Amino acid sequence: MNMDTLKVAELCHETNRAFCKSIGDDSQPPWAEAPEWQKGSAAQGVMLHVGSVEDVSPSASHENWLAQKYAEGWVHGEVKDPEKKTHPCMVNYEELPTEQKSKDYIFGAICKFFKDKL
């Protein structure tokens, strides 16, 4: 993973954090305070998007995130809790609320912009 990938991951994280704040979710820390697992998750998402020949759909982006979380031991829970590894978005893409689906569109749009620049 190169520095440019991490910069795009940071931009995606901070944009996601701003979007979350706009819908009343203050659970996202600033990038500088984010735990390594969260930074790694953002970086893996960026690598998925920029490494793919085809555009990655929002649903494929979510399913990739979901598979990563399952592999790390996360499960569905009513509340996001990193210590218990529970998250309300641990569901299939079709089951996500619209505002959660929006995050996958935003993430993908940022990656698409930078795809040929990395």
Which pair of tokens denotes residue 111? 């990656």
pLDDT of 109 > 70? The answer is yes
Report the alpha-carbon distance of residue 31 to residue 38 in Å, rounded.
9
What are 37-66's pLDDT values in tens digits? 999 999 999 999 999 999 999 999 999 999
Between 118 and 65, residue with greater pLDDT: 65
Annotated domain spans of the chain: 3-117
* Entry pTM: 0.91
What are 63-84's pLDDT values in tens digits? 999 999 999 999 999 999 999 9
